[in-house]
Chains A and B, each alone.
Chain A
């Protein structure tokens, strides 16, 4: 979702970057993302990281598998570069982040010494990658150009989800085992708040107005909602598809649509994706997927939702108008993250 609003975002990024250039005259910051300079080629390709087979599956825009190639060990988090000509893959068992060219899937470079990366988000400046280091109880900041380690923050055990506000001033890191959401002020370079949330926080989504931060609490079976004004919990949404018990509902990835109306939440062991109304915080529907859906991605037009089913080694594709499954496609072992390059 947050990848899809590139035009508006890149404009903001450009301004943010310009400010930064002025502020840090001594630092060499390259701003690759000025509006109009986007080099993305709209390849229509879809990339899926497969955690157990250590491969990347590539689909074309008609959802045909065109290839599956070997990558580093235990690939999980995936992210486009700012101009979407490259994508990053974090490999936990190799402590590496590898960078591929979107069009050719050729290896561009490796960022080494990233302790067990799980997920990450790219600062709107296109340059600073904030990575959760699962085994190391830390979040680290890397310069994607030079591969240099810039900063380390102490988090609770098993940091997972990482998400920036659109201006890059704040970044949120979820600590799964400590049940905390850490709020890092990127300007001051410090953690300004630890917010206690429900059990096993995993991933984030921001409402487009950036008033609410949604965080999935995997073992509580809910999504917690944090106000960005107060940095306090202000509500939650419980999920319970028919026939399931509370303990079987383990939400992980979540997305909010660009108009801020709808949220999609992958429910893990409950084998469903929940569709929720963002304003009323009510569940509209549950859609049956494969086994243990975690990763989610929307196409740019938001007409199709892709779901990575970790325990059935496949992807479910959902038509978001009818909320029906279009089809499911076998991929590698334990699919985790999905990227769509369709604009």
Chain B
């Protein structure tokens, strides 16, 4: 069956015609898709004019990787190019992808788009002659029941991140966890992901307390941090707060002398600017030179998308998408993710296998998978759903 698919895609490649082939011959294009009206990047100011959350587009990460491709291009006699495309309000993302596929011959798309656009793009996401990268969402459904054959993920999922923290707690023997969960859907999703991880790694969630962002004395059991964290024995507080306004006051206001993890305190991400091993300082400095800021985990996801495809092109000496896809999801693919362990993509859900960094504001405390958590094949698969547990069928 695989062979017939392969044959079909090779055939379609041939049928696309010579003009496109000729254009694509010495340029390999990555397209970065973004929306001009994306609320995610709207300035987010807290009370008193403080900016707590400064979101930057992962475009700078993609640029860093594209620049790294220069010398590899010399070897391949190929130019790696990054095309930025802004989707305007009212523009159909499907039309945008199709026209870019035709006009610049691009087959690799980095999606810096809201989740709703992933839904719109669904008919294209399962195409096997295109590669799409989710570089922004940790959503587990995108890797689960909503997965698609053409969709790859370089940012770790909520499940991977929660598993990383759960491994850390297990290793520390901090096994009793109090869960604080906010009102947002994203908070509940985070809380649920941690509950699952707690079960997987045999931690005990002693209680879940839902908090609200309010000063209303009638709701004090839900807005007073000391009350929210009283009445139970626990080793650690797991905070699920995607907004951050409540969460920033939780450390040190906890009723007991216990650490806070999750959205504050010890945080799990794909990347951190203080990561200083496995070549990370060099990547951080290359990024800083282009972006004039510190590299964040979505920047890393943008970087990894371009870098992994570049690496696959060089290794397979091919720009044929089905060849690249097959290679990127094989055990042979051995891509330097600057976290000390070779990365590649899980064939069952196209999630990039990678270590997760557990960090504070200015230091990486631990890297998961944590020593001692073993897997029959690849220890990285102790983070997130293994093939047995995956809801994805492509």
**A residues lining the B interface (CB < 8 Å):** 134-135, 137, 154-158, 175-180, 194, 196, 198-200, 219-220, 245, 247, 250, 269
Contact = CB atoms under 8 A, between A and B. Distances in A.
Interface of B is mostly: helix
Given A135-B285, A135-B286, A199-B335, A194 B279 contact: no
B279 A158 contact: yes
Contacts of B70: 137
A250 B340 contact: yes
Given A194-B75, A199-B335, A269-B340, 20 more contacts: A135-B282, A135-B286, A154-B71, A157-B68, A157-B286, A158-B279, A176-B279, A177-B68, A177-B279, A177-B282, A177-B336, A179-B314, A180-B71, A199-B336, A200-B336, A219-B342, A220-B334, A245-B379, A247-B341, A247-B378
* The 9 nearest A-B residue pairs measured at CB: A156-B71, A194-B75, A247-B341, A157-B68, A199-B334, A158-B282, A178-B71, A219-B336, A219-B342
Contact of B334 (A154, A157, A175, A198): A198
A155 B75 CA distance: 11
B172 interface: no
B334 A219 contact: yes
Nearest to A182: B71
Interface of B: 68, 70-72, 74-75, 279, 282-283, 285-286, 289, 311, 314-315, 334-336, 340-342, 378-379
Contact of A157 (B75, B282, B311): B282
26 contacts: A154-B71, A155-B71, A157-B286, A158-B279, A158-B282, A177-B282, A177-B336, A178-B68, A178-B71, A179-B314, A179-B336, A180-B72, A180-B75, A194-B75, A196-B75, A196-B314, A199-B335, A199-B342, A200-B279, A219-B334, A219-B336, A219-B342, A220-B334, A220-B342, A245-B379, A247-B342
Contact of B71 (A135, A175, A220, A269): A175
Contacts of A199: 334-336, 342
A50 B315 CA distance: 36
A196 B75 CA distance: 8
Contacts of A220: 334, 342
Contacts of A154: 71
Given A177-B282, A199-B334, A220-B334, A137 B342 contact: no
Contacts of A269: 340
Contacts of A137: 70-71
Contacts of B282: 134-135, 157-158, 177
Contacts of A198: 334
Of the candidates B74, B283, B334, the one having the most CB atoms from chain A within 10 angstroms of its own CB is B334
B71 A157 contact: yes
Nearest to B69: A178
Contacts of B311: 179
B284 to A, nearest CB: 10
Contacts of B335: 199
A172 to B, nearest CB: 15
Nearest to B285: A135
A194 B336 contact: no
Given A134-B282, A199-B334, A156 B342 contact: no
Contacts of B279: 158, 176-177, 200
A155 B342 CA distance: 23
